[in-house]
Structure 1
């Protein structure tokens, strides 16, 4: 690419979205976009969610997918086929080591759909190289990682969107409008739930990793472990070395509507209870219930739906209890009860929150305008934090006191030790 073309493309990426910020859907109306005006994207991690990333971003005329990366050669080959099936002109470079993508100066954006224990380091390295990031949830593996991610984003003036696609939906925006209107009165209690949990996965023997899989690179900063398929694709979240189970997987999707609606502050205590499976090697929660105490707000997470009207039909949901009424919702539905009346909306509450142009479109528009998207990193970190603290309480089997100003447990060095973990060599978490 000649220098003039580089300058033109960078100028477009930084400035074009300013004119489109109020009308983000206009970008989708383009049928032809000059190569110099396209956002150049690379996808890191090409499994289930990585495949979704490929499909989503290939559908935008102002995006060019230039590289794919996966430690599994089989998945990488299928990812290339998927991309070409969506955009026949695509000719992506293929990598097994994401650092090759980080080193490239001609890439504007990376998406990250790796296992959870890689999320933070991939994003931080991308920020440092001048790239914006669309990252899958959960935001990070640990509390400290989330803090360093935010520091790196601010230092490098980058854009980040967390892959909580449901956040962009009309239902969540409408729930937030109703609650913030005050028709339910002051919200004093929120109940969140997600049915299901980790299964034991049996007691499989260790195996030699397939020749098509770089197991050492898959492990990355996580502790070394012998390979067994259940620790890898699909079920890695069943192990605390890589994630936090179903709880870590789904927390952000439903806690998101609580943070959108009531912005809880002043978390002071976390009390988790639960069990791990006894029928296999998995060690994340078979079930987990958590009591959170915020300033003027009680929050309860349960693995089974609470005994409130309508919850029994929802595998995941949120229930808001106010002085004048209640609201129960999941991703697509809501039930509002005020006095003796039950309905799915409150027509007199006006539309006060701008609707999203679409989760991925919101991110791409932000890349152009340099204004942070809805599910930005600062918001995502605050929303993700209680999940990490709950898992620490679960593992220690006791109630914990939290100082939300200092962001540390009160007089509890053991719990504070679990806010981070040492990376396996040669990987290290940057210090800012």
Structure 2
């Protein structure tokens, strides 16, 4: 069947609502895919995480990988090898410009593993073209981008899952169950941490970009700067032009368990302290500590593990303090202390939270059912926002007051200015 015929058939089914076995059909205004249908996937960004996307999704029998995209020809060629090694019959189209994928009407899903400053534009473009998105973390480069992403998703009725794979783990689900059971009493304080921060990266000279890399396209909406390798693959997160350092990279992984367990509300103030490296051109935090004041909850982020039971063994972790006891956890472990006794579980607390079938499977099932997955955009946007606000406090070197209803800083034009940034021409963030 020709591509045009496939598109015409899909449009017919969407507009008429006719359900045919193996074809999409319409339920409550959403296009719903039958369980037997193949989900056609394209991957945008094919570096380390992009390679993982390719391996993960190509392993599912109901997925067909039809396209790969990267601004680096070497990475793109390697990505094709990765795909073919796991599926010898795969024959993906290769692109250097993600807009060619967006233009295709026969693609159902895109995954995005680009640098952070591209996350929003790729996702929004996909939503507008009727595609669902599995996007890498952090959700967005700026707070405003996250807001527009959510507006776009709702306008175009799309599905989104953030690549916080640890969200699907048994440990995170069990921690949330224990805390929500009330065994620790009311939680009044949460401490989050991640050891390490941005290295300085030295003072390398500018270079001519490799012929295999489209440096202008890699920069995209970010400010133009001359090429040097440390600004690009692998270490781009250590520059505020593209990301927010180790803090932005790992916030969502460990703040996630806080939001899963206690879902803090009413953020009122943010007070960040820290420093940038002094031995290189990197400018994101070498270390950062942040005090967050929510309604009825104090949250502290530190670069050094706090002095609480079990934390010394955890390079990243969360510590919950309740009226009756405490719980300290990382991705795989937990330490519970109640009444002077320490354990790693409370057998009397039954399973109350449904377990994930796997993070990627959860997303694919959502694509078919049109029911948002666990790490959906509305949830992760709320969970990501404090990270953006903390980096603004860090950059301005002062405590900030936040209006959580208006989603703006109180009487602070400078801080509000940093909620977004102007894109480099010809790129622009849509307004809905």
Contact 2:6–2:106, Cα closer than 8 Å, also in 1 = no
Contact 2:198–2:277, Cα closer than 8 Å, also in 1 = yes
Displacement of 1:340 in angstroms is 1.7
> Are 1:120 and 2:120 an aligned pair?
yes
Q: Distance in 2 between matches of 1:15 and 1:372?
A: 17
The corresponding residue for 1:310 is: 310
The corresponding residue for 1:275 is: 275
Q: Distance in 2 between matches of 1:52 and 1:13?
A: 29
Contact 1:290–1:301, Cα closer than 8 Å, also in 2 = yes
Q: Distance in 2 between matches of 1:183 and 1:57?
A: 39
Displacement of 1:41 in angstroms is 0.2
Displacement of 1:4 in angstroms is 6.7
> Are 1:412 and 2:417 an aligned pair?
no
Matches within 5 A, 1:259-274: 259-274=259-274
Contact 2:305–2:314, Cα closer than 8 Å, also in 1 = yes
Q: Distance in 2 between matches of 1:65 and 1:4?
A: 20
Q: Distance in 1 between matches of 2:374 and 2:309?
A: 31
> Are 1:184 and 2:200 an aligned pair?
no
Displacement of 1:16 in angstroms is 11
Q: Distance in 2 between matches of 1:356 and 1:171?
A: 11
| Deviation beyond 2 Å, 4+ runs, structure 1 | 1-18
Tell me the alpha carbon deviations over residues 326-384 of structure 1, each in whole angstroms, 9 at most, x when there is no partner.
Answer: 00000000011110211000111110000000000000000000000000000000000
What SS does the corresponding residue of 1:54 show, helix, strand or coil?
Answer: helix
Displacement of 1:211 in angstroms is 0.2
Tell me the alpha carbon deviations over residues 251-277 of structure 1, each in whole angstroms, 9 at most, x when there is no partner.
Answer: 000000000000000000000000000
What SS does the corresponding residue of 2:362 show, helix, strand or coil?
Answer: helix
The corresponding residue for 1:242 is: 242
| TM-score (ref. length: structure 1) | 0.94
| TM-score (ref. length: structure 2) | 0.94
> Are 1:344 and 2:344 an aligned pair?
yes
Tell me the alpha carbon deviations over residues 26-78 of structure 1, each in whole angstroms, 9 at most, x when there is no partner.
Answer: x7xxxxx6xxx200000000000000000000100000000000000000000
Contact 1:70–1:95, Cα closer than 8 Å, also in 2 = yes
The corresponding residue for 2:32 is: none
Contact 2:66–2:92, Cα closer than 8 Å, also in 1 = yes
Matches within 5 A, 1:159-178: 159-178=159-178
The corresponding residue for 1:204 is: 204
Q: Which runs of 5+ in 2 are unaligned?
A: 29-34
Q: Distance in 2 between matches of 1:81 and 1:359?
A: 24
CA RMSD of aligned residues (A): 1.7
Contact 2:202–2:280, Cα closer than 8 Å, also in 1 = yes
Aligned length: 417
Q: Which runs of 5+ in 1 are unaligned?
A: 19-26, 28-32
> Are 1:104 and 2:128 an aligned pair?
no
